[in-house]
Amino acid sequence: MSAKRTSRESLAKSATSQDSDSQKSRTPINLQSASTPPTGQRRSGSQIGSPLLKPGSGMSSAGNRDKAGSAVGKNASPAPAAKAAVKAEIAENIQYLPPGLHTIFISSTTQQSLQLRVDEDLTQESNLKLIGKDVLLDDIQTAGQASSFFEFQQQIQAYPENEIAIIYDYDYFYSQNFLICFDPKLKKFMEMPPVTLPLDEVTETEQYVPPVSKPWISLGSEKEIEEERLVLNRPLKRYKIKVPSRSSQQKPTFKDVDPDDKKKMFINIEPYEDKQFDLKKIELDIAIQAAPEFRENFSQTIWKYPKNQWTQYEPREYSEEEKMKYLADPKLINVVVNSYDLFKQALQQNIIHDPFYLDWTRLGGQLDGLGGPGDSHLKEYQSFTDIHNSKDKIVTCVQWHPTLRGIIAVSLAVRQGFDERSENLSRITTAPSLILIWSFVDPIQPKLFLEAPDDIQCFQFSPSEPHIIAGGCVNGQIVMWDIQQYEERIKNPRGDHRDKDLFIPGFEDETFFQTPHIRFCAVSSIEHSHAEPITDLQWIPDHFQITAQGLPTENLSMSCSQLMTCAFDSQVLIWETRAPRTGVKPSTKKEREVINPLGVPLTFKHLDLSWKPLLRVTLANAESGPDFAPRKFSIREQQGDRDVLNKEEKDLFEKKKDNRDSGQFVNPVDDALSKGQVPSKAKVLQNVDTFFYVGTETKFEDYHAYSLTAWYSSVVDGPVVALKRSPFFKDIVLVAGGWTFSLWREKVHSGALLHTSSMKEKVTDAEWSPTRSGVFFISKQNGSIDIWDVVDRTHAPSLTQSISSSSITYLSIKNISSKQQLLAAADSNGTLHILEVPWALRQPVNQEFQVVTSYFDRETERREFVKKRWDIREEEKREKERLAALKAGIAPAHNPSQEEIDIRMKNEYNEFIQFEYHILREMGLRDENEAPPVQQ
């Protein structure tokens, strides 16, 4: 119990100590009646307002205060000392007073008048009293200021209900002895407090009191029980009953009975159909629930964190001391000694027979070229044809780009003869004449179109400046192009028109994907050009140039600037592309823009339309007769061959002497001028052979010093189509034309070194192999190519291969790399075939050069022998005639004069005419009356 007084200890001090016995006896009852209305209710009502009062403790203390309260009531004023001690706590408590409740001190007289006497009308348990509003107001009126309720006068008046609750504060918890309530809700709450449930503490505190058994008092029930009771008078009886099994004990006896026995000692049970099972299942309701099988599986994979790891290691090595120790090891010495012989043996074997000798490598040549029948054939590598521009055109010329790989230019011309061309001359053709520049990367679309004023018959890249192209037109003009600004485009390995990703979508430069058409940048003046189609054009090699006098001089700029052309008008022209020194002053930029609307490069602006040839060589026939119409020409000097210059330095004077000796070689003008020019830097090159060969419609000529025909000979039975110098022998010329071709050596004029019999097809072009000295290619009109190998055989081509269905018009060969050689063959359908030259035709055979050299030397000797034989024959013939004349008699040998021969022949002819006439008359083909024609 003392534990429950914790919060109340201070008050307990003020109260006189109570005997605990009485408390003890009262408390349980108090607790049990906590829910009973009169006391518990009211007390708990006040407790709501005072949070410090725990219900249990409050009640228990209430018990305490019963007696203490009475003491206070009797004394009227409690012990002052105790009061002072409590004051502090009371002051604190007042603040917990709920709104609407006010402390009030009601004096004992007022208590009496209002029947609020402490411990009489009001106790600690029933501490609530309702007093009428008017009673209180009366009290205020009568007592005035002395009234306890004076200070609440207004609140009392304002109070809506009639009765005001006055609560007795038993232990002065809120500093006064009474509380007055001005809150009707609170009042109601106090009147009917919520039911407080028995608390946990109650169960805690409840002590087990063992029940005390009470003495039994008989009220007559024992009799009833006695009546109901069963008492056994005797022991229970037990019976065991068993049914005797007679049937099982008797053994059955069986005997045979006749079924026909009339006694019917047996029952026959016939099988019958039981109706019970007649029902047939017709419909069956079966419900099946299909449920997907559901399974959950887990698997845990381990993710290993990738980590860079490294270890550093070093080889084990012995230190010097250890090495020495091991070297001194007799075992090691034994090893060395024992294996010495083995090694010696092995090494000797190796020395005797070289194990590294590879028979195959010593066999010569590359292994990949061996075997296989197709190896010596030309293989089609690529073919170019432009759907729009190559139609109905023939390829007139094919040129490889001198520096860039895989770039090839093709000139196209209308497939028209001279007559057709002249007929169509007045018509304006919309299709421009073009040179197509192809790249191996893109076989569909050409890289560039070069536009020309007329069909191009021949053209060539400048060997020193490959962006410059010179072409010869059908109308006799020379055309120049400069493709410098398009070089990047040509080099670009990808096909431009498909290179869409170069541009942001929507910002494509449409013109970029189209092949640009490049206009020529210069064209020669018509008056000074050739009058007939240009048939051949060549850049003069960069190591020399030709003066206006026709003298070859050293070219100090080392760049090609001169052109040589020939045309049917029996002229060979030499052109200078550089601007004359006193040329047109360079135009200002503004002027250029005005002049240059087509964006033509200004490289050759100074030449355009006013270009005149530097030198003109007319191929006049020495004898009367038709003029020569040059088709092809060939000069001895070749691009990139600097031998002449080197030789020039060495033995200039010596050479001059030699030249004079050879007679034919020397041009007096050359000599005279060279003396004057030697001191100056541009030397006249004595070693430059000023002869050039011209292939004409019918003949093969040798021109000297650009002036006069030195020699000519009809060597082929048709127009010369090719005149090519061997890349190995500068003096060997391949002449092709008509149905034959022949090999000639310079200055050997008695005949060809090799002359073929007429072939079945017309020869269209010829080309030397750049790597094999004895191999050349001959293209023919039926679209086939003959490959001749003089090392192999000279009487027939070593290989004939058909390339195209139409005539092949041009051959051009290029050594791409040491492993690839390409032959370009263009046909009259405008298609360009690129053929790969097989290894066998590319790789020189052992000592080929020597073999071919000796072959040509032999043939040259033969020619000399033939020439000698001619002389001998001539001599012999004369001798014979002389002898015959002597034999005929002493009479002077009658040599019939020309007149006599003519008369004799005329007579014979007349006889023939007569004879013919008679025969015709007999056959009725001649009129009878017609006089026989007799020629006088």
Task: Please report whether residue 364 would count as binding another protein according to CB under 8 A.
Answer: no
Task: Report the amino acid identity of residue 479.
Answer: V
Of the residues 146, 192, 336, 901, which one makes contact with another protein according to CB under 8 A: 336
Task: Report the amino acid identity of residue 241.
Answer: I
Task: Please report whether residue 331 would count as binding another protein according to CB under 8 A.
Answer: yes
C-alpha angle 663-666-671 in degrees, rounded to nearest 5: 135
Distance from C-alpha of 36 to C-alpha of 111, rounded to nearest angstrom: 27
> Alpha-carbon dihedral of residues 173, 175, 181, 185, nearest 10 degrees?
-40
Of the residues 80, 244, 355, 663, which one makes contact with another protein according to CB under 8 A: 355
Distance from C-alpha of 252 to C-alpha of 166, rounded to nearest angstrom: 114
CB of 314 to another protein, least distance (A): 9
Give the residue carrying structure tokens 């195209």. 804
Task: Please report whether residue 351 would count as binding another protein according to CB under 8 A.
Answer: yes
C-alpha angle 844-848-852 in degrees, rounded to nearest 5: 130
Candidates 280-288, 346-354, 654-662, 811-819: pick the segment binding another protein (CB under 8 A). 346-354
Of the residues 96, 105, 150, 318, which one makes contact with another protein according to CB under 8 A: 318
CB of 368 to another protein, least distance (A): 18
CB of 316 to another protein, least distance (A): 5
Q: Which of 748, 749, 812 is nearest to 777 (CA)?
A: 812
Candidates 255-263, 324-332, 613-621, 760-768: pick the segment binding another protein (CB under 8 A). 324-332
Structure-token pair, residue 889: 């008699």
Distance from C-alpha of 561 to C-alpha of 399, rounded to nearest angstrom: 18
Task: Please report whether residue 326 would count as binding another protein according to CB under 8 A.
Answer: yes
Candidates 121-129, 291-299, 335-343, 570-578: pick the segment binding another protein (CB under 8 A). 335-343
Of the residues 9, 258, 261, 317, which one makes contact with another protein according to CB under 8 A: 317
Q: Is the dihedral of CA 251, 255, 259, 264 positive or negative?
A: negative
Distances from the Cα of 719 to the Cαs of 435, 628, 723, in angstroms?
25, 11, 11
Task: Please report whether residue 343 would count as binding another protein according to CB under 8 A.
Answer: yes
CB of 347 to another protein, least distance (A): 6
> For 37, which DSSP code?
I
CB of 362 to another protein, least distance (A): 13
Task: Please report whether residue 854 would count as binding another protein according to CB under 8 A.
Answer: no
Helix, strand, coil percentages (3-state) for the chain, rounded to 5, are 35, 20, 45
Structure-token pair, residue 829: 């359908």
Candidates 158-166, 339-347, 389-397, 542-550: pick the segment binding another protein (CB under 8 A). 339-347
Residue (306 or 315) nearer to another protein, CB: 315
Candidates 127-135, 337-345, 475-483, 928-936: pick the segment binding another protein (CB under 8 A). 337-345
Residue (224 or 354) nearer to another protein, CB: 354
> For 276, which DSSP code?
G
Q: Is the dihedral of CA 160, 166, 167, 173 positive or negative?
A: positive
Task: Please report whether residue 192 would count as binding another protein according to CB under 8 A.
Answer: no
CB of 357 to another protein, least distance (A): 9
Residue (347 or 884) nearer to another protein, CB: 347
Task: Please report whether residue 330 would count as binding another protein according to CB under 8 A.
Answer: yes
Residue (298 or 360) nearer to another protein, CB: 360
User: Strand locations in 803-936, DSSP E?
Assistant: 808-817, 820-827, 832-836
Task: Please report whether residue 361 would count as binding another protein according to CB under 8 A.
Answer: no
Task: Please report whether residue 337 would count as binding another protein according to CB under 8 A.
Answer: yes
Residue (351 or 931) nearer to another protein, CB: 351
CB of 339 to another protein, least distance (A): 3
Task: Please report whether residue 344 would count as binding another protein according to CB under 8 A.
Answer: yes
Residue (158 or 367) nearer to another protein, CB: 367
Residue (76 or 328) nearer to another protein, CB: 328
Q: What are phi and psi of 20, to 5 degrees?
A: -70, -25
Task: Please report whether residue 270 would count as binding another protein according to CB under 8 A.
Answer: no
Of the residues 83, 323, 592, 880, which one makes contact with another protein according to CB under 8 A: 323
Task: Say if strands 448-452 and 517-518 run parallel, antiparallel, or are unpaired.
Answer: parallel
Residue (368 or 876) nearer to another protein, CB: 368
Task: Please report whether residue 105 would count as binding another protein according to CB under 8 A.
Answer: no
CB of 342 to another protein, least distance (A): 5
Distance from C-alpha of 708 to C-alpha of 619, rounded to nearest angstrom: 7
Residue (236 or 342) nearer to another protein, CB: 342
Distance from C-alpha of 76 to C-alpha of 126, rounded to nearest angstrom: 20
CB of 359 to another protein, least distance (A): 14
Distance from C-alpha of 562 to C-alpha of 577, rounded to nearest angstrom: 6
Of the residues 216, 254, 294, 356, which one makes contact with another protein according to CB under 8 A: 356
Distance from C-alpha of 448 to C-alpha of 469, rounded to nearest angstrom: 13
Of the residues 346, 531, 598, 609, which one makes contact with another protein according to CB under 8 A: 346
CB of 845 to another protein, least distance (A): 28
Task: Please report whether residue 505 would count as binding another protein according to CB under 8 A.
Answer: no
Task: Please report whether residue 342 would count as binding another protein according to CB under 8 A.
Answer: yes
Of the residues 17, 22, 339, 850, which one makes contact with another protein according to CB under 8 A: 339
CB of 365 to another protein, least distance (A): 19
Give the residue carrying structure tokens 């109070």. 159
Of the residues 17, 22, 350, 646, which one makes contact with another protein according to CB under 8 A: 350
Residue (362 or 585) nearer to another protein, CB: 362
Residues whose CB is less than 8 angstroms from the CB of residue 889 and which lie 6 or more positions away in sequence, other chains included: none
Q: Could you tell me if residue 406 is left (phi over 0), alpha (psi between -120 and 50 degrees) or otherwise beta?
A: left
Residue (134 or 322) nearer to another protein, CB: 322
- H/E stretch holding 200 reads helix 200-205
Of the residues 146, 265, 332, 893, which one makes contact with another protein according to CB under 8 A: 332
Residue (346 or 598) nearer to another protein, CB: 346
Q: What is the DSSP string of 284-305?
A: -----------------PPPPP
Residue (261 or 317) nearer to another protein, CB: 317
Q: Which of 496, 479, 474, 483 is nearest to 402 (CA)?
A: 483
Structure-token pair, residue 68: 């203490």
Residue (237 or 353) nearer to another protein, CB: 353
CB of 311 to another protein, least distance (A): 16
Candidates 42-50, 316-324, 480-488, 890-898: pick the segment binding another protein (CB under 8 A). 316-324
Contact by Cβ (8 Å): 683, 646: no
Task: Please report whether residue 556 would count as binding another protein according to CB under 8 A.
Answer: no
Task: Please report whether residue 242 would count as binding another protein according to CB under 8 A.
Answer: no
CB of 737 to another protein, least distance (A): 54
Task: Report the amino acid identity of residue 182.
Answer: F
Q: How many residues lie near another protein (CB under 8 A)?
A: 30
Kindly provide the b/e burial profile for residues 479-498, where b requires at least 16 CB atoms within 10 angstroms of the residue's own CB: bbbbbeebeebbeeeeebee
Distance from C-alpha of 6 to C-alpha of 138, rounded to nearest angstrom: 43
Q: 167: which strand partners?
A: 128, 179
In angstroms, how far is the first alpha carbon of the chain from the final one?
189
Q: Which of 13, 132, 133, 11 is nearest to 62 (CA)?
A: 11
Candidates 116-124, 258-266, 323-331, 466-474: pick the segment binding another protein (CB under 8 A). 323-331
844-849: long-range contacts at Cβ-Cβ below 8 A with a sequence spacing of 24 or more?
844/771, 844/772, 844/773, 845/772, 845/791, 846/364, 848/772, 848/773, 848/774, 848/791, 849/728, 849/773
| Interface ranges with another protein (CB under 8 A) | 315-318, 323, 326-340, 342-344, 346-347, 350-351, 354-356
